[in-house]
Amino acid sequence: QKCSLSNYKIVSKNLGEPVIVFASEAGESISNKFIQLFDISLPRKIDVKIMSYDYFELMKNKEDDVLFKNYNILLILGINTKISNCPYIPFEELLTNESIYILDNILKGLSYEEQEIRQFNSNILKYYSLENVMNTITILNVNVLIDLIDDALKKLQISLSMKIEPKVMYGLFIHLGSLIERLVMKLSNNTYSDIQRFEEEEQEFISCFKKSFEKIMRYYNVEIPIAEIAYLHDYIMNWV
């Protein structure tokens, strides 16, 4: 067993230093910003390494990644970074009761008192609010960015005749906020494994997406690449 909690106590089993890992396809810079919010949410430091890790390397190697050989992974937090047999919290579910329960159990295993855990829960809800996260991950005007993303996602839902859950919307805002900034800064380099198949099979989604996001792309003078549209398609459909 490579990742484990037992009765709220850390089980190392000679697996090395215990760590909490943040990984996001948006890059380690975004993961590091989430770590900053996590750090300031803690009432006191914990004796656990908190680190970002390369998302694509982790997804390619899964349980065989060197990360699992060198560390005792207590938890992975990220977007689409679930590894079997390892505790995992998606960023979009970070504020749910179930996720907070997982975090509370880890802190109990690290000798946190009940009062400290309550303070941590309060801090998590405050620091990981959508507006605060968006302010953390981008240098763009957050109010304008949120309004434009909200407008685009509302149009996309109408055009696709679907309703996207609030927790999925949270993840989309984070991803799109980071994506728009990367496009503005000309830093986007996301790839998709079978882009030709996607373009052939999902022409309706591509068309609806481009029409829905026309306003935000025009405002920032950017074009969202097909590879990014494909990723967002998979992300949305994974929750439907």
Distance of CA 83 to the CA centre of its chain: 14
Which of 171-200 are b and which e, b meaning 16 or more Cβ less than 10 Å from the residue's Cβ?
Answer: bbbbbbbbbbbbbeeeebeeebeeeeebee
d(CA 115, CA 107): 12
d(CA 46, CA 54): 23
Tokens coding 17: 């230093």
d(CA 173, CA 192): 20
C-alpha torsion angle, residues 171, 173, 177, 178 (rounded to 10): 0
CA separation, residue 116 to residues 36, 78, 102, 188 (Å) = 18, 24, 15, 40
95-140 pLDDT per residue, tens: 888 899 999 999 999 999 999 999 999 999 999 999 999 999 999 9
- Which residues, other chains included, contact 105 with Cβ-Cβ below 8 Å and sequence gap of 6+? 5, 8
Q: Tokens 């803690």 appear where?
A: 42
Distance of CA 93 to the CA centre of its chain: 9
141-189 pLDDT per residue, tens: 999 999 999 999 999 999 999 999 998 999 999 999 999 999 999 886 6
pLDDT of residue 35: 95
Residue in 185, 184, 151 with CA at minimum distance from that of residue 169: 151
- Cα Rg of the chain (Å, integer): 19
Phi-psi region of 52 (alpha: psi -120 to 50; beta: other; left: phi over 0): beta
Name the band, by pLDDT with cuts 50, 70 and 90, for residue 13.
very low
pTM of the predicted model, to two decimals? 0.83
- Higher pLDDT: 12 or 28? It is 28
